[in-house]
Amino acid sequence: MQTAEIKRRWLQFFESRGHTVVPSASLISDDPTLMFNVAGMVPFIPYLTGREPAPFNRATSVQKCVRTNDIDEVGKTTRHGTFFQMNGNFSFGDYFKAEAIEFAWALLTTPQADGGLGFDPDRLWATVYHDDDEAFGLWQSIAGLPESRIQRRGKADNYWHTGQAGPGGPCSEIYYDRGPGYGSEGGPEADEDRYIEIWNLVFMQYQLENVRSKVDFDVVAELPKKNIDTGMGLERVAFLLQDVENMYEIDEVFPVIEAASKLSGRTYGANHEDDVRLRVVADHVRSALMLISDGVTPGNEARGYILRRLIRRAVRAMRLLGVEEPAMPSLLTASRGAMQSSYPEVGSDFDRISRIAYAEEEAFLRTLVSGTALLNQAVAGVRGGSNTLSGDKAFALHDTFGFPIDLTLEMAAEQGVSVDEQGFRTLMAEQRDRAKADARAKKTGGVSDTSAYRELRDIGETPFVGYESLSQDSKIR
Ligand code: ATP
Ligand code: MG
Ligand code: MG
Ligand code: MG
């Protein structure tokens, strides 16, 4: 089933059950604490927290999302994209747990011939928060799930809150078992590669106070108006229903892998390392297309820096696949072809989008050329002597020319020279500390270092109020 068809069925299912269809908001979040929309619920936060009255009791959407904290997973797991679409259904003080579970189960297991998604019910599992007996019971009574396929998990996995005092509550997640060929038995608790998380149901049930961390807070009252917030990964469902191995092989992404494979002459599926690179390229090019379409331009700060890193990582991956010429024209065109039926604006605005992407690729290729000359010089200086490039040199290449460390490592190795990576990392850490001190100084009105480049090292952190705390460092290398 095509991705667009899954989306269509989703919206139709919830619309026919009284939900207002709300178009996706831009990737650029309205919420000043967020760099991007990271979940379907983000545009609904004012209604979910009660800050504003909801104009409807029920809503549904397919929201464009970007999660930079997943960047290191891209291409390596089967299921993490930097860009992805989250299908959501929401209840604002209207229906609660029973209906949320009933809807999810019906849509997933109704045969495709009857308008559903046609998942085999015997392969579905659910998790619930450890003391949520109500949800546990509903999975048994509504879905007929045996106890053995309902797992109880703790706060780290199955509790949602915003990170501040306010609404919160347990979640319940739905997983699909890909079968013994994909990992060990034992349900999602044991193996999230075999058991793929497809849908998260959040039950906003309590008022929380004194939120000290993801897992440490006080539950002070039952909310008078309880909400439902759910998120289903469109690409994950698509890959499971399209009978492919991962989300990069679905109809909306795979054409970029094909284009990259054609440019590089590397066959997809022949070599694990190449495959990871091809998937990274496909993911990042699509994310770049969607981000530029929503008005982000490459730059040295915040969103623009993320976009810059995505494009550079894609170009870098192409280089490692043996392509040194500009690849964007062919890759971006392939991505447009795959995305424009769902997002016509990437077609109509393609001249502007492509100009921005191609210029960024060309600039980075120039960086590579100038950096390469310097790197070669530095390598020549130590060859036959220590045969080790100092951390200082590697740092200077990175700091001044934006030359990624893995590129330095690889190109030095090609010439039989190693790099003091530890020294490099120490200098990076020192710089990060300086930037933090600067940021603090700035906040308190002190003088700050004006080097934009330096501050960028800190941008990885994307504050998050969605399903889980994404506050871990989301380094983009
Ligand atoms: P995972 O544990 O696999 O990283 P998650 O628990 O972080 O997923 P949620 O925050 O619960 O995900 O988001 C709701 C749904 O969105 C998930 O059940 C999944 O189907 C989908 N999803 C989340 N992150 C991604 C991603 N990076 N790429 C594609 N789909 C995603
Ligand atoms: Mg995650
Ligand atoms: Mg999860
Ligand atoms: Mg989840």
**For residue 443, pLDDT beyond 70:** no
Would you say the CB of residue 198 lies under 6 angstroms from ligand 1? yes
Residue 376 inside a domain? The answer is: no
Task: Based on the fold, state whether residues 188 and 320 are members of the same structural domain.
Answer: no
Mean pLDDT of 12-16: 98
**What spacing in Å lies between the alpha carbon of 172 and ligand 4's midpoint?**
9
Task: Based on the fold, state whether residues 394 and 311 are members of the same structural domain.
Answer: no
Task: Based on the fold, state whether residues 57 and 188 are members of the same structural domain.
Answer: yes
Residue 428 inside a domain? The answer is: yes
Residue 470 inside a domain? The answer is: no
Atom in ligand 1 nearest the alpha carbon of residue 231 = 14
Task: Based on the fold, state whether residues 234 and 98 are members of the same structural domain.
Answer: yes
Residue 12 inside a domain? The answer is: yes
**For residue 463, pLDDT beyond 70:** no
Q: Which amino acid is at 322?
A: G
Task: Based on the fold, state whether residues 258 and 168 are members of the same structural domain.
Answer: no
Token pair for 293: 């379409």
Task: Based on the fold, state whether residues 350 and 427 are members of the same structural domain.
Answer: no
**For residue 116, pLDDT beyond 80:** yes
Task: Based on the fold, state whether residues 237 and 291 are members of the same structural domain.
Answer: no
pLDDT of residue 435: 83
**For residue 452, pLDDT beyond 50:** no
Render 302-363 in DSSP notation, one character per residue: HHHHHHHHHHHHHHHHHHHTT--S--HHHHHHHHHHHHTTT-THHHHTHHHHHHHHHHHHHH
Would you say the CB of residue 67 lies under 6 angstroms from ligand 1? yes
pLDDT of residue 457: 29
More confident residue, 408 or 259: 259
Task: Based on the fold, state whether residues 306 and 209 are members of the same structural domain.
Answer: no
Residue 118: closest CA among 128, 126, 130, 110: 110
Share of the chain above pLDDT 90, in %: 80
Share of the chain above pLDDT 70, in %: 92
Query: Which residues does 102 contact at the CB level (< 8 Å), separation at least 6?
Result: 142
* pLDDT grade for 462, boundaries at 50, 70 and 90: very low
**Which range has the worst mean pLDDT, 35-44, 94-103, 368-377?**
368-377
| Residue nearest to ligand 1 atom 13, measured at CA | 231
Instruction: Share the mean pLDDT of the chain.
Output: 90
| Residue nearest to ligand 1 atom 23, measured at CA | 233
**For residue 206, pLDDT beyond 90:** yes
| Residue nearest to ligand 1 atom 14, measured at CA | 231
Would you say the CB of residue 188 lies under 6 angstroms from ligand 1? no
Residue 476 inside a domain? The answer is: no
Residue 375 inside a domain? The answer is: no
Pairwise CA distance, residues 228 & 92, whole Å: 7
Would you say the CB of residue 9 lies under 6 angstroms from ligand 1? no
**For residue 472, pLDDT beyond 60:** no
Q: Which of 68, 69, 84, 194 is the best mutation target for the ligand 1 pocket, counting ligand atoms within 8 Å of the beta carbon and taking the most?
A: 84
| Residue nearest to ligand 1 atom 3, measured at CA | 197
**What spacing in Å lies between the alpha carbon of 175 and ligand 4's midpoint?**
10
**Which range has the worst mean pLDDT, 67-71, 244-248, 457-461?**
457-461
pLDDT of residue 409: 87
Atom in ligand 1 nearest the alpha carbon of residue 39 = 13
Pairwise CA distance, residues 172 & 160, whole Å: 10
CATH number at residue 102: 3.30.930.10
* Dihedral class, residue 145 (left if φ above 0, else alpha if ψ from -120 to 50, else beta): beta
Domain boundary among 326, 343, 368: 368
Q: The domain containing residue 414 runs over which residues?
A: 383-457
**What spacing in Å lies between the alpha carbon of 149 and ligand 1's midpoint?**
20
**For residue 371, pLDDT beyond 90:** no
Task: Based on the fold, state whether residues 229 and 351 are members of the same structural domain.
Answer: no
Mean pLDDT of 278-292: 98
243-270 confidence digits (pLDDT tens):
999 999 999 999 999 999 999 999 999 9
Domain boundary among 241, 265, 282: 241
Token pair for 154: 């703790």
Residue 248 inside a domain? The answer is: no
Task: Based on the fold, state whether residues 183 and 77 are members of the same structural domain.
Answer: yes
Pairwise CA distance, residues 444 & 436, whole Å: 12
Alpha-carbon distances of 158 from 39, 164, 297, 406, rounded to whole Å:
16, 17, 36, 36
226: phi then psi, degrees, rounded to nearest 5: -95, 145
Pairwise CA distance, residues 70 & 474, whole Å: 7
40-53 confidence digits (pLDDT tens):
999 999 999 888 99
**What spacing in Å lies between the alpha carbon of 69 and ligand 2's midpoint?**
8
| Residue nearest to ligand 1 atom 21, measured at CA | 233
Per DSSP, the three-state class of 135 is helix
pLDDT of residue 466: 36
Residue 310 inside a domain? The answer is: yes
More confident residue, 250 or 463: 250
pLDDT of residue 373: 86
Pairwise CA distance, residues 280 & 72, whole Å: 10
Atom in ligand 1 nearest the alpha carbon of residue 192 = 3
**For residue 456, pLDDT beyond 50:** no
**For residue 10, pLDDT beyond 80:** yes
**For residue 408, pLDDT beyond 70:** yes
**For residue 449, pLDDT beyond 60:** no
Domain boundary among 316, 343, 368: 368
Mean pLDDT of 20-29: 97
Q: Please write down the long-range contacts of 401-408, taking CB distance under 8 Å and 24 or more positions apart.
A: 401/367, 401/370, 401/371, 401/374, 402/312, 402/364, 402/367, 402/371, 402/453, 403/367, 403/368, 403/371, 403/374, 403/375, 404/312, 404/316, 404/477, 405/477, 406/316, 406/477, 407/316, 407/368, 407/371, 408/375
Mean pLDDT of 300-311: 91
Alpha-carbon distances of 217 from 48, 129, 164, 189, rounded to whole Å:
19, 15, 9, 24
**What spacing in Å lies between the alpha carbon of 67 and ligand 1's midpoint?**
9
Would you say the CB of residue 233 lies under 6 angstroms from ligand 1? yes
Per DSSP, the three-state class of 407 is helix
Domain total in the chain? 3
Complex-level ipTM: 0.99
Task: Based on the fold, state whether residues 168 and 226 are members of the same structural domain.
Answer: yes
pTM: 0.87
* pLDDT grade for 453, boundaries at 50, 70 and 90: very low
| Residue nearest to ligand 1 atom 22, measured at CA | 233
pLDDT of residue 454: 28
Task: Based on the fold, state whether residues 132 and 214 are members of the same structural domain.
Answer: yes
Mutual angle of helices 272-293 and 302-320, in 10-degree steps: 150
Would you say the CB of residue 79 lies under 6 angstroms from ligand 1? yes
Atom in ligand 1 nearest the alpha carbon of residue 196 = 3
**For residue 467, pLDDT beyond 70:** no
Residue 264: closest CA among 210, 335, 342, 330: 330
Mean pLDDT of 272-288: 98
Ligand number nearest CA of 73 is 1
More confident residue, 133 or 475: 133
